[in-house]
Amino acid sequence: MAKKYVFSSESVAEGHPDKVSDYISDSVLDACLAQDRNSRVACETLVKSNQVVLAGEISTKAKLNYEEIVRQAIREIGYVNDDDIFHADKVFITNNLTSQSEDIAQGVDAKKAKDKDTAEQGAGDQGIMFGYASNETKELMPAAVMFAHRIGRQIAKIRHAGRQAKWLRPDCKSQVSIRYEGDKAIEITAVVISTQHTEDVRRKDIEKFMIEKVIKKCLPKSLLTKNTQYLINPTGRFVIGGPQGDAGLTGRKIIVDTYGGSGRHGGGAFSGKDPSKVDRSAAYMCRWVAKNIVAAKLADRAELQVAYAIGHPEPVSITVDTFKTGKVDEEVIEAAVSEVFDFKPAGIVRQLKLKQPIYRSTTNYGHFGKDHLSWEQTNKATALARAVKKFSK
């Protein structure tokens, strides 16, 4: 008998304090890469009340006005209202950025290999990275986290348009719970939305708007039933939000950024890091590989793990898990993956075209499941299927 269970995932909007920090960090990264594609960036951001603190290590030839980058990022998020304590034009900014450690740089910079005349770029750190894909949505992503992201994007779209629901403010969280029988989604059991708002709007009006103009507009009608529970601003009031209400830190929403808990996570954050940091670039690589495995119909679900040592170009391990949904042996898929894809840090950057100012578009509503990103392409599915046939003989 198929297992019956309920699985939940959450998303947070760009106005959430942690996402404000992520967006500022990725804005700094993009500004560096726009002028110097070889920039080394590890930018961390702390936000609280009317304060922004930048910290980390940056080595770049770019000439930047960090204060204007920070203010523009906050402006784009929407903290520009007269009553905002955290306001794009009024925040105090502390810059604690320094250059990258030479000890790290010597392990990461391209160096001559012992046995050949080519430059080898080492991994920017040790660590493990995961990528995941599932055929339960068209994006080949887990449904619960994709549905939660849809809600957040729809609310943000309405807020930025400014024509209706003028009571909306930037901070927001969403959560979706789905009942499964085996791997099949049966119904959405609960939808939770907590959205920041102005003083003058009634909770019942917020609730009606969110159900009719957001939830029913962006979630599958077939999964919303008479039993679905809607919990809209369940505390009753959410006027004080954003960095005024809570501190924000770069990299604190790594499960929101990835698979909503459906797939494993290596622990490394993404935002503010250039692609020499494998905890970002290799996680993108693993998603690309896992998605192509599922797109090639080699499995219904696939998870890839890779591991690196700092300064060493080759991964120390590559492992595939298909959760017993594979159409061929996992060892065969692993062999095919190793033949089709290059997992060296320089190879990842080259294949996915990562030395570009693309990272602000990744920050909000998940780093995966967005068609325009290079690691979301299924352009290796045919080559992967061909390699599987070769190793199956």
- What residues are annotated to the active site? 16, 18-19, 44, 57, 173, 238, 246-247, 252-253, 273, 277, 279
Interior angle at CA 266, CA 153 and CA 143, nearest 5: 35
Q: Which residue has the tokens 């708007």?
A: 209
The closest of 392, 383, 390, 293 to 340, measured between CA atoms, is 383
Q: How far apart are CA 212 and CA 35, in angstroms?
A: 45
How far is the C-alpha of 195 from the C-alpha of 206, rounded, in Å?
9
Q: Is the dihedral of CA 334, 338, 339, 340 positive or negative?
A: positive
187: Cα separation from own chain's centroid: 26
Judge contact between 325 and 301, C-beta under 8 A.
yes
Is the separation of the CB atoms in 374 and 158 below 8 Å? no
Half-sphere exposure of 144 (CA within 13 A, CB side): 30
With the C-alpha atoms ordered 210, 213, 214, 219, is the resulting torsion angle positive or negative? positive
CB 20, CB 272: distance < 8 Å = no
Instruction: Give the count of alpha carbons within 13 A of 74, CB side only.
Output: 30
DSSP 192-257: EEEEEE-TTS-HHHHHHHIIIIIIHHHS-GGGEEEEEEEEESTTS---S-HHHHS-EETT--HHHH
